[in-house]
């Protein structure tokens, strides 16, 4: 693990026709649309709830805590940026209260578009919000679903804790790395 160093992954621009999407209303909160990052052609798609910080207060690009933890776990499991594409249920970072159910429902349309276009081999849903949205089940929880592979929306899907939960509760790190190992093992099986 000593050779691990977090890096800025390249950001994939939103499709031109969606760059200024205002359907969900999050555009009025002032955050820009983040379509995804990493390798847009990657076989593994990671789904998070929403984009985190991209720039520090001075406007310089930074690797936020979520991405640091995610990259560290990927490295631990032997996966690289070439293997991974990260995207979000919400394509903009909310900065104040919003109608969560309505906005998530609207924004799932963008994710379904990405899935249709990219056709990943594996999905890795991180955190309850992404699991509930992707599984289309408001009762779904990482705690009870992790450790298995599910067929969801036509894709083999693995569930794990959100990287921020792992940062806040370091006792989750071994569980988090188990889920990353499950992901890496299933990816290897697909390539045999």
How many domains in the chain? 1
Give the structural domain span for 186: 11-190
Q: For residue 79, tell me if it sits in a domain.
A: yes
57 contacts 73 by C-beta, under 8 angstroms: no
42 contacts 82 by C-beta, under 8 angstroms: yes
What phi, psi does 33 have (nearest 5°)? Answer: -75, 130
Q: For residue 99, tell me if it sits in a domain.
A: yes
Q: What is the pLDDT of residues 103-133, one digit of tens each?
A: 999 999 999 999 999 999 999 999 999 999 9
Q: For residue 63, tell me if it sits in a domain.
A: yes
| Average of per-residue pLDDT across 160-189 | 96
Q: For residue 3, tell me if it sits in a domain.
A: no
Separation between Cα atoms, residue 98 and residue 141, nearest integer Å = 22
Q: For residue 88, tell me if it sits in a domain.
A: yes
Q: For residue 124, tell me if it sits in a domain.
A: yes
CB atoms closer than 10 angstroms to residue 24: 21
- pLDDT value at residue 58: 66
Q: For residue 5, tell me if it sits in a domain.
A: no
Question: Any idea what the CATH number is for the domain that residue 148 is in?
Answer: 3.40.470.10
Output the pTM of the full model.
0.94
Whole-number Cα distances in Å, 59 to 33, 54, 66, 150: 16, 9, 18, 40
């Amino acid at each position: 693990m000593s050779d691990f160093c977090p890096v800025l992954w390249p950001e994939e621009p939103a499709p031109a026709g969606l760059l200024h999407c205002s359907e969900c209303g999050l555009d009025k909160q002032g955050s820009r649309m983040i379509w995804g990052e990493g390798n847009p052609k990657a076989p593994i798609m990671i789904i998070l709830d929403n984009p985190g910080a991209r720039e520090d207060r001075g406007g310089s690009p930074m690797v936020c805590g979520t991405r640091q933890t995610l990259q560290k776990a990927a490295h631990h499991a032997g996966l690289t940026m070439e293997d991974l594409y990260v995207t979000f249920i919400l394509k903009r970072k909310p900065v104040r209260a919003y109608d969560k159910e309505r906005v998530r429902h609207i924004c799932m349309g963008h994710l379904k578009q990405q899935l249709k276009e990219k056709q990943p081999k594996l999905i890795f849903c991180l955190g309850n919000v992404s699991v509930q949205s992707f599984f289309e089940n408001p009762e779904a929880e990482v705690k009870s679903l992790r450790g298995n592979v599910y067929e969801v929306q036509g894709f083999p899907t693995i569930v794990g804790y959100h990287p921020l939960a792992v940062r806040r509760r370091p006792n989750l790190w071994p569980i988090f790395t188990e889920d990353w190992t499950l992901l890496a093992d299933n990816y290897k099986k697909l390539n045999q």
